[in-house]
Structure 1
Amino acid sequence: MSILHCQGFLEALAIINGEASDLCASYELQCLPDAPDLATALGLRVEDYALNVIEPARDLPAALWRIEPAPCARTHLESVCQRWFFSSQHMQAAPPGRFRAQLVAAFIDSLDDALGGFSLHAVTMTPPAGFWYAIHWDEIAFELGDERYLLHFSHSD
Structure 2
Amino acid sequence: MSVPYCLGFLEALAILNGEASDLCASYELQRLPDAPDLSTALGLRVEDYALKVIEPARDLPAALWHVNAVPCGRAHLEQVCQRWFFSSQHMQAAPPGRFRALLVAAFLASLDGALGGFSLHAVTMTPPPGFWYAIHWDEIAFESGNERYLLHFSHSD
- TM-score, normalised with respect to structure 2: 1.00
- What is the CA–CA distance in structure 1 between the aligned matches of 2:91 and 2:19, rounded to whole Å? 10
Q: Which letter does structure 2 place at the counterpart of 1:128?
A: P
Query: Which residue is 2:155 aligned to?
Result: 155
Query: Which residue is 2:132 aligned to?
Result: 132
Query: Which 4+ runs in 1 deviate beyond 4 A?
Result: none
Query: Which residue is 2:40 aligned to?
Result: 40
Query: Which residue is 2:58 aligned to?
Result: 58
Runs (5+) with no aligned partner, structure 1 = none
CA RMSD after TM alignment: 0.3
Query: Which residue is 1:86 aligned to?
Result: 86
Matched, 1:24 2:31: no
**SS of residue in 2 equivalent to 1:28:** strand
- What is the CA–CA distance in structure 2 between the aligned matches of 1:149 and 1:53, rounded to whole Å? 18
- What is the CA–CA distance in structure 2 between the aligned matches of 1:4 and 1:19, rounded to whole Å? 23
How far has the Cα of 1:108 moved from its partner?
0.2
How far has the Cα of 1:20 moved from its partner?
1.1
Q: Which letter does structure 2 place at the counterpart of 1:126?
A: T
Give per-residue Cα distances to partners, 1:76-95, cap 9 Å, x unaligned. Answer: 00000000000000000000
- What is the CA–CA distance in structure 2 between the aligned matches of 1:137 and 1:41, rounded to whole Å? 19
Q: Which letter does structure 2 place at the counterpart of 1:15?
A: I
Query: Which residue is 1:4 aligned to?
Result: 4
- What is the CA–CA distance in structure 2 between the aligned matches of 1:3 and 1:73, rounded to whole Å? 20
Q: Which letter does structure 2 place at the counterpart of 1:43?
A: G
- TM-score, normalised with respect to structure 1: 1.00
| Count of aligned residue pairs for this structure pair | 157
- What is the CA–CA distance in structure 1 between the aligned matches of 2:66 and 2:14, rounded to whole Å? 27
Give per-residue Cα distances to partners, 1:92-133, cap 9 Å, x unaligned. Answer: 000000000000000000000000000000000000000000
Runs (5+) with no aligned partner, structure 2 = none
How far has the Cα of 1:134 moved from its partner?
0.2
- What is the CA–CA distance in structure 1 between the aligned matches of 2:46 and 2:155, rounded to whole Å? 17
